[in-house]
Structure 1
């Protein structure tokens, strides 16, 4: 076959391939095919057949052999086949010992951490309480009303007082008269006698003060608080619904104006209201002053006669003037008569209101307009400036327009006085009595008392006004004793406030509660019906704070309130001030227990133990005595020290226990007896009476004489309380020192066989003490262990 035939067949094959499938055509010449074949042959010859087969095999499985070669080359076998460190065999005994010690150390560390956290928590709680008390004291000093507490801090300042100097009374003569009157009132209550009206008693007392404005204030308060039945519900809500408060205020203004009218025309008209009104109108209105007055009767202006007849509380005189004026005023005369009798006539009232709207409203007679508005309630916001020349006139007109049960208009009048006009309008700083009377006449007793209490010269009057109203059940007290002096309750009718009586009394009594404690207790007794946030009776809480704040070492207040205890062989006490207030709700025992709990919380265990004994809680009394004994039993006795006082107290309780006068728990009794025995032991020890000390120690059966006694002593130790256990390290050291000193004395002797035997017994005792210290289930201090080892080595 020649080349042409071969070329033709190749072209045919190419055409067939194009026709069968759409593959890209590869156009190579024979020279190019030959060159590619030569290159492939040379590359296969150089790399080798096996490698090619490997490439083909792995490539068919999806493995990229060149990348695999790179990864294999990066691997290093240097670290893989290095020899391992030889590990020693585990020592099980050492491992368990380490685990046990680590567990003990972990418990000790956790205990120390818990103790530290507890101490820190108690410290911050005490500081927070001190700060809150100081904050309350400062808030009490800021007497003005406030809704926000002021957070201020102050460090305590030490004060040195001469103990031989008797304090003088801090009450001035006026305050002392108030205090004596309150004492008499409380004594009547404590005896179960009929409760007098304290407002009336103080009002009668104020007449002796020689100050007319003060007498007027008490008279006003006594007048407006004369209610037919005592309030048994919330005073704030009842005050708006009951008409007695504004009707009595209106009557008071009428009586006071009648006195004014008599002063203008002479006292001879006081008994005849008709002649009084005629004379007053004639005196007040001249020929020029009657211009604009539309009606007359007997050559005198009619409507001023009617107005002043109503103004001085003589409605029947006003009716008489209207009837004298003619039949045209019969309807109005009937209206006045009906109102005076407490009746209503809707037909006449509607006709007169229509008449007022059509004619009277634009009349030039200001008195006629005022009388119509007063009786018909027209134009409530009208000031009537031509008629009402004073605040009393304005208040009387507004109070006369209020109908019984009309709480809305009564509340509007209160808001007008307190909120819209306020202190600035009345110039309250320069005229405090006027503003007080205005508030009191509108039934705002709490705001009036709080305003009066801001001034030092009026604070005593304000306090006793608040106490008197509280005893009558008329004072709107704060919801909580922790609230500011004057507060607003959102559920109360506007704009009435609530007065914190507790805060007011405490800030008043703080000044003299140390010098006049008896009077202070009577003031605190007025708070007996109130409760603090903890639910405690406020009288008892105030007395408790008085005792606690008197100081840690000052027992004067305690002796004064609870009575001074007699000698140790007597368990009776002199009668204290608190005994006069005993009642079924509380007595001296309850009060003593409350104070003792508070003192124990503050860490004053010595006084708390005494008060617990007075309260009959002998277990708690012995508990705190034991706690204190555990702290000082090992110390030497010094004159006037805590240890000396506790020794006397322990002797007293021992006598009580011996005589079966008190009952305590057996465990508490055994702890106390052991601590007292150890107290006697250390007394002998510090006095150098070693034989007596050892005899006392043998009675306790706590320390061994030989190594054979260790197990018995350890069994006794495990039954001890925590207070006794705290003393054991000092007892062991003291017993070892006694043995060492006796050994030293014997060693300097003649060396006889008896002395050698005694020295051997002392070494046995020292060995027993060391063994006991080593095997005790409690960790002893390091100093104790070191001291024991030193003393024992000296004896060998």
Structure 2
């Protein structure tokens, strides 16, 4: 198959829209991404407000309408032609149906025919003097003017005479190629050549039957005509004309006249249409023709054969045209390989260095969304599958597009800078589930939240007065069960040990017991550490302090035991802070107030009996508390013994030292008697420090 660049109108970047400098938002989105993001937001809002009959494909097409560059306008025209199939065909299995297959071929042919008419007009209107366009406007005059420019001297092998100074079969073929079968029939009517007249009769039958193929006796007669005068003809236009009217010869690609990609594809699609129509409804006449050996495998050209030819026989490299991926895209798209076409366009960001590679990526995503909303996108069951994948029961070229993975990949580049826009795209995942049955929309929102840490922006927060402040996802347009989502993210964050997020989510869910339990575990982990700027301890303590203040002032719904443990750990954290600040007296005052440890020998038995009431979270740091208390006592004892000038007499000094020794003794006895095994050498160190104090 000869492949030359597709027919194009010169491209230009002039007139592209850029917001004025004063209005430029802080965004990482490209121009195309901004345009489509606005359209997506508009679509979601209109659907939420009850807008009926809104089609995403229509909105996206309007987004591209004012674009100067013809490339993307043509791209979306192709999409429109192929997506706008008969709505009566819609069902879950529509893509695998024979009716949709035939409908898609017809729409692809209409697009190619419209583009060819456009090409004729450009050539003729660009060469009016040579084309000599005149007379009544219509296809015949346009075609003859075009041939005046392109085939002024005819061609080798022409047969059956001339029509308006041009070989008749070249005029007939170009009318067929432009989709005007009536014009081709009018040429044949009353023509002196019998084969031309009979050809015109076949076109008339084709038009009147409205079945896209010849039927009954006319089909039999036409194939006999082909065997008599068509197959042996040296006129390339005559042979091509026969082969696009009925199934005659699928071996030849008619490269003598189909030297452009669009022409080759149009001829092949005509043959596909004739084959698929026969496959859709085999009539008795077809059986008759089979007896002549005219519909054997040598003649048929099903759509799958064209698809294999494009993907396997030729492949991506064969269709490469400079830096533009549009040629291969067109081959895939118009042959009904939608998923492969979108994957190919999406991959251009990775496989090319073309300056518009990001635009291709962007357009591919939105084409996929349009198909999905129209119920025409084939998707895999597993959202972890590759973007282009096959499932076990699929035929070799029946690819599926993993829209979920494509969308998540697409929004990952801007979900931090343009979180609201990212959420709009994630909205389309509401109908998808993971293989474990999880809502994929929830999963994607969770991942965005974990990466951006913007849980307040997305889901809201509780202010200092205990009131709920709404987040982006509370907007009614999303129609998401936010309470269910909050609970899902809270449980997931807890599993991942993302404490700050888990606390915020359980707080939103009003599960105050869970909030305080998580914070208690956090305080237990960091309480004995010295607070440093931006440290985990500082983050945990800041969060715990804000929660403690709000719950104290506004009330909470936590169970009493959990609340007592949490507030006790807050006091213990304060105790450690005072120690690190060398404020030993205040630190011991905190310990006296919370009554965690016996500070006299007389209290030891009572505290040992009450040890079962000490929460596990406090027990885990009890050895550190005992050691720090002993360090404080040692420091105080050393200070008293070392600076007698501060005291009135040695009796007072001795009394103070004795008091410290009694506290130290009480702590050592308590540590020895409680039913708790101290880690490492804690007990030995306590005894040693008490000895130094004595």
Q: In the alignment, which of 380, 388, 393 is matched to residue 250 of structure 2?
A: 380
> What is the deviation of 1:308?
2.5
SS in 2 for 1:243: helix
> What is the deviation of 1:253?
1.1
1:492 aligns with 394
2:607 aligns with 713
Mapped pair 1:292 → 2:185: no
Q: In the alignment, which of 602, 625, 650 is matched to residue 519 of structure 2?
A: 625
Q: In the alignment, which of 336, 341, 360 is matched to residue 230 of structure 2?
A: 360
> What is the deviation of 1:414?
1.0
Question: Any conservation in 2 of the 1:236–1:492 contact (CA below 8 Å)?
Answer: no
1:169–1:296 Cα change, 3 Å: same
Q: In the alignment, which of 667, 683, 686 is matched to residue 785 of structure 1?
A: 683
Matches for 1:33-182 after TM superposition, within 5 Å:
169-182=27-40
Matches for 1:756-795 after TM superposition, within 5 Å:
763-795=661-693
Q: Distance in 2 between matches of 1:744 and 1:766?
A: 13
Q: In the alignment, which of 177, 199, 202 is matched to residue 60 of structure 2?
A: 202
Mapped pair 1:346 → 2:216: yes
Q: Distance in 1 between matches of 2:215 and 2:549?
A: 87
> What is the deviation of 1:791?
3.5
Q: In the alignment, which of 580, 584, 593 is matched to residue 475 of structure 2?
A: 580
> What is the deviation of 1:296?
5.5
Mapped pair 1:187 → 2:37: no
1:291–1:619 Cα change, 3 Å: same
> What is the deviation of 1:425?
2.8
1:145 aligns with none
Mapped pair 1:547 → 2:449: yes
Mapped pair 1:426 → 2:332: no
Q: Distance in 1 between matches of 2:403 and 2:112?
A: 29
Matches for 1:301-312 after TM superposition, within 5 Å:
301-312=167-178
1:296–1:620 Cα change, 3 Å: same
Which ranges in structure 2 are unaligned for 5 or more consecutive residues? 1-23, 126-132, 281-300, 350-355
> What is the deviation of 1:195?
5.6
1:47-83, CA deviations, whole angstroms, 9 ceiling, x for partnerless residues?
Answer: xxxxxxxxxxxxxxxxxxxxxxxxxxxxxxxxxxxxx
1:5 aligns with none
Question: Any conservation in 1 of the 2:512–2:557 contact (CA below 8 Å)?
Answer: yes
Q: Which has the higher contact order (CA 8 A, sep 6+)?
A: 2
Larger Rg: 1
Question: Any conservation in 2 of the 1:302–1:325 contact (CA below 8 Å)?
Answer: no
1:407-446, CA deviations, whole angstroms, 9 ceiling, x for partnerless residues?
Answer: 8701111111121122233234555222221221111122
2:292 aligns with none
Q: Please say which of residues 755-764 and 273-282 is displaced more in the overlay.
A: 755-764
Question: Any conservation in 1 of the 2:462–2:508 contact (CA below 8 Å)?
Answer: no
1:232–1:270 Cα change, 3 Å: farther
Q: Please say which of residues 216-225 and 607-616 is displaced more in the overlay.
A: 607-616
Question: Any conservation in 2 of the 1:297–1:325 contact (CA below 8 Å)?
Answer: no
1:85 aligns with none
Q: Please say which of residues 255-264 and 698-707 is displaced more in the overlay.
A: 698-707
Q: Distance in 1 between matches of 2:566 and 2:54?
A: 53
2:110 aligns with 251
Q: Distance in 2 between matches of 1:263 and 1:604?
A: 63
1:683–1:277 Cα change, 3 Å: closer
Mapped pair 1:509 → 2:509: no
SS in 1 for 2:182: helix
Q: Please say which of residues 214-223 and 239-248 is displaced more in the overlay.
A: 239-248
> What is the deviation of 1:623?
1.9
1:629-664, CA deviations, whole angstroms, 9 ceiling, x for partnerless residues?
Answer: 112323455565544554443343334444564322
2:528 aligns with 634
Which ranges in structure 1 are unaligned for 5 or more consecutive residues? 1-165
1:260 aligns with 119
Question: Any conservation in 1 of the 2:154–2:166 contact (CA below 8 Å)?
Answer: no
SS in 2 for 1:663: coil
Question: Any conservation in 1 of the 2:160–2:193 contact (CA below 8 Å)?
Answer: no
SS in 1 for 2:348: coil
User: What TM-score comes out, normalization by structure 2 length?
Assistant: 0.79
Mapped pair 1:320 → 2:186: yes
